[in-house]
Chain A
Amino acid sequence: QSALTQPASVSGSPGQSITISCTGTSSDIGGYDFVSWYQQHPGKAPKLMIYEVTNRPSGVSNRFSGSKSGNTASLTISGLQAEDEADYYCSSYTSNRGVFGGGTKLTVL
C-alpha cells in the first residue's frame, strides 16, 4: 500500500493561484473517482475540502477546485489568502482500503 506522491511544499503570494499534484496508479487514483483533499492546520484535525475528485462540501470556498487526469489528481487554490497556509493531503480509495499522499505544506508568502 504505497502512499500517493505529493510535492513536499509549494508556495505562492496572496492573490495568486497554486496547484498541488497527487500521483498514484491505475489501482487507486486512476481506477476510481474517489479522490479527496484535506486541509490541516497545525494541531487541528483534517478538514475535507474536495471529495469525489471535483466536489466541494457545503461551506468550502469556491476558490478550491479539484481535477483528475489519468493517475494524477490536482488541487487548485485560486486567490490565495493567508488563511490557506496549511498542510494539504490527497486521499484515494483502493481495493477496499484508503491511501493518503505524504502531504504538501503550502506557504503563503
Chain B
Amino acid sequence: QVHLVESGGGVVQPGRSLRLSCAASGFTFSSYGMHWVRQAPGKGLEWVAVIWYDGSNKYYADSVKGRFTISRDNSKNTLFLHMDSLRAEDTAVYYCASQGHWGQGTLVTVSS
C-alpha cells in the first residue's frame, strides 16, 4: 500500500534554512504529482506546494513563494521541500501527500 514518510524537521532559528524529505513507496512515484501541506499548532490545514509527476511544473502558496522550493528525485522515490528565510509563522507539522494519501508529518519549529 501507499506509504509516505517525512523527515528533516526540527528546531531552526528565524532566517535559517531547512530541507524536508518524503520517502515514498507502494506506488509508481514517478507517475504522480506530489504536494506539501502544513498545519500550524492548533490550526487548520494549509496547502504549501505541488510538483508535477515529472518535475516539470511547480506551484506555491503565496505565503511561501520565493522562499520555499519543492523538488523530487524520481530515481529515489523521494520528494523534497527546501525552506529558506524561515519565519516564526512557518512553524507547523509538514505533511507530504499524493492521491489522497498522507504521511504522518514532520514538525518544524522556527524559534530563536
Contacts and interface: CB of A to CB of B under 8 A. Distances in A.
Interface of A: 1, 3, 36, 38, 40, 45-48, 51, 57, 87, 89, 91, 96-103
A96 to B, nearest CB: 5
Contact of A38 (B45, B57, B59, B61): B45
B100 A51 contact: yes
A98 B62 CA distance: 12
Given A96-B59, A97-B59, 18 more contacts: A36-B100, A38-B45, A46-B45, A47-B102, A51-B100, A89-B44, A91-B45, A91-B47, A96-B57, A97-B60, A98-B37, A98-B50, A100-B37, A100-B45, A100-B46, A102-B44, A103-B44, A103-B45
Contact of B61 (A1, A47, A101): A1
List the 3 closest A-B pairs by CB distance, nearest first: A48-B100, A98-B47, A103-B44
A34 B44 CA distance: 20
Chain B interface, DSSP helix/strand/loop, else mixed: strand
Interface size grouping (class) on chain B: 10 to 19
B36 to A, nearest CB: 10
A65 to B, nearest CB: 16
Nearest to B4: A45
A49 to B, nearest CB: 9
B35 interface: yes
Contact of A45 (B44, B47, B95): B95
Given A45-B95, A45-B105, A46-B95, A100 B47 contact: yes
